[in-house]
């Protein structure tokens, strides 16, 4: 096993991606968040933030299960069903952003408290197979990257450069 | 799709360029040389020079790994590179375009790899034996690391995770 992915690096990325997101969202209010969509039937910024907020909760539950149980099956998440069940279209944008940041803080406090052995504990994802706590943390940071760029496209504040 | 996959990594490498372009929107050379990450930190120009030089380093390492069996990967000191390549004297727009061109070349290289090629490995003196997939994913997360640094230097976010 190499040392390319380390707990310190994972923590650093999990701290940094919400800062990038907050910079992108700094001039976005409720009206703007409910405006443009990612394509005709894609999500608007409010719905993307609801998705990030819901998944942050799911990711935190998966981490806790992995720490507390022996190779638990990681809970699933159906993004499109969550849109309806959690009524994304009628949420308050600023509350959703705040909730996401609180959940990220909870995740960071949890991960910061772990021993080296705990970072290697494994949960079993239905699609991805074995995922260590470390893998789950890195995957969360990559998920942030994906949706941050989606928000940029929806807000139409950059041309796609590549 | 596993948590770390060529598809996810290629997507992140493309998306980060778009996100960084939004963060740098409106930044000219004067601003890039005056906005600094702390009293003795790098300016936005110097951070961008670092990203450009490491894009070349990351891509060159991948080329080495594709051409030889577990080659020794060269390592560099970022501070030495900053002095040798006279970051402070570079032109901001030129450096941005150089980084974009290197990212295009890097994406072109990676997007043509077979699944076997993504798993070819190099030997890093600190990290150990690392496959191209993990090095490419680190490249994407390295983007995020320095995008957040640029945001702090430009004062674009109040969100800071200590």
Count of H helices and E strands in chain A? 7, 2
pLDDT for residue B2: 62
* Closest CA relative to residue A158, chosen from B25, B84, B112: B25
Helix H or strand E encompassing A80: helix A79-85
Inter-chain residue contact B141 with A141, CB threshold 8 Å: yes
Phi, psi (5° rounding) for residue B2? -65, 165
* Closest CA relative to residue A140, chosen from A23, A26, A16, A32: A16
- Can you spell out the DSSP letters for B53-90? HHHHHHHHHHHHHHHSSSPBPP---HHHHHHHTTGGGS
pLDDT for residue B39: 87
Tokens representing B90? 């570079």
Q: How far is CA B68 from CA B73, B74, B98, B135, in A?
A: 11, 14, 27, 16
Q: What are the pLDDT tens digits along chain B (162 aa)? A: 466 889 999 999 999 999 999 999 999 999 999 999 988 899 999 999 999 999 999 999 999 999 999 999 999 999 999 999 999 999 999 999 999 999 999 999 999 999 999 999 999 999 999 999 999 999 999 999 999 999 999 999 887 765
Query: CA quadruple A76, A82, A86, A88: dihedral positive or negative?
Result: positive
What part of A 90-149 touches B (C-beta under 8 Å)? 101, 104-105, 108, 125, 127-129, 131, 135-136, 138-139, 141-142, 144-146, 148-149
User: A44 by DSSP, 3-state: which?
Assistant: strand
pLDDT for residue B1: 45
| Residues of chain A contacting residue B25, judged by C-beta atoms under 8 Å apart | 157-158
User: B37 by DSSP, 3-state: which?
Assistant: coil
User: B106 by DSSP, 3-state: which?
Assistant: helix
| pLDDT (tens digit per residue) in A58-104 | 999 999 999 999 999 999 999 999 999 999 999 999 999 999 999 99
Q: Cα A108 from chain centroid? A: 12
Phi, psi (5° rounding) for residue A75? -60, 150
B1 min Cα distance to partner chain A (Å)? 7
Q: How far is CA A104 from CA A51, B18, B54, B102, in A?
A: 14, 24, 29, 33
All residue ranges of chain A with pLDDT < 70 are 160
A–B interface: beta-carbon pairs under 8 A: 134
Nearest to A20 among B104, B107, B144 (CB): B144
* Closest CA relative to residue A150, chosen from A13, A83, A51: A51
- Can you spell out the DSSP letters for B4-30? S-HHHHHHHHHHHHHHHHHHTTT--HH
Neighbours of B104 (CB within 10 A): 14
Tokens 């000219």, located at residue: B28
B129 min Cα distance to partner chain A (Å)? 6
pTM (whole model) above 0.90: yes
Q: Is A41 exposed, middle or buried (0-12, 13-18, 19+ CB in 10 A)?
A: exposed
Contact between residue B16 and residue B147 where contact means Cβ atoms under 8 Å apart? yes
* Closest CA relative to residue B145, chosen from A14, A136, A133: A14
Tokens representing A97? 């952003």
pLDDT for residue A73: 97
| Residues of chain B contacting residue A159, judged by C-beta atoms under 8 Å apart | 21
Nearest to B144 among A5, A17, A158 (CB): A17
pLDDT for residue B162: 58
pLDDT for residue A160: 67
* Closest CA relative to residue B131, chosen from B112, B109, B111, B116: B116
Does any CB of chain B come closer than 8 Å to the CB of residue A158?
yes
> DSSP letter at B109?
H
């Amino acid at each position: 096993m190499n040392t390319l992915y380390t707990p310190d690096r994972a923590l650093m990325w999990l701290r940094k991606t919400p800062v990038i997101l907050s910079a992108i969202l700094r001039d976005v209010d409720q009206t703007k968040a409910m405006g443009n969509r990612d394509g005709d039937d894609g999500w608007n910024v409010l719905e993307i933030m609801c998705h990030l907020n819901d998944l942050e909760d799911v990711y935190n539950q998966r981490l806790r299960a992995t720490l507390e149980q022996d190779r638990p099956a990681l809970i699933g998440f159906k993004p499109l069903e969550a849109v309806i069940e959690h009524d994304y279209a009628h949420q308050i944008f600023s509350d959703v952003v705040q909730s996401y940041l609180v959940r990220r803080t909870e995740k960071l406090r949890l991960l910061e408290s772990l021993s080296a052995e705990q970072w290697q504990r494994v949960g079993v994802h239905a699609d991805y197979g074995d995922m260590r706590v470390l893998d789950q943390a890195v995957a969360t940071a990559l998920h942030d990257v994906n949706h941050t760029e989606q928000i940029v496209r929806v807000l139409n504040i950059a041309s796609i450069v590549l | 799709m596993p948590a770390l996959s060529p598809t996810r990594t290629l997507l992140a490498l493309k998306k980060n360029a778009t996100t960084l372009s939004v963060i740098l929107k409106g930044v000219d050379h004067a601003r890039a040389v005056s906005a600094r990450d702390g009293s003795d930190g790098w300016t936005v120009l110097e951070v961008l020079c670092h990203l450009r030089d490491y894009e070349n380093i990351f891509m060159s390492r991948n080329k080495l790994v594709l051409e030889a069996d577990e080659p020794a990967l060269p390592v560099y000191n970022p501070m030495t590179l900053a002095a040798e390549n006279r970051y402070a004297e570079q032109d901001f727009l030129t450096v941005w375009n150089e980084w974009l061109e290197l990212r295009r070349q890097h994406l072109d290289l990676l997007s043509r790899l077979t699944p076997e090629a993504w798993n070819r490995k190099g030997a890093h003196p600190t990290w150990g034996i690392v496959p191209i997939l993990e090095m490419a994913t680190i490249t994407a997360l390295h983007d995020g690391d320095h995008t957040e640094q640029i945001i702090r230097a430009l004062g674009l976010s109040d969100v800071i995770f200590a």
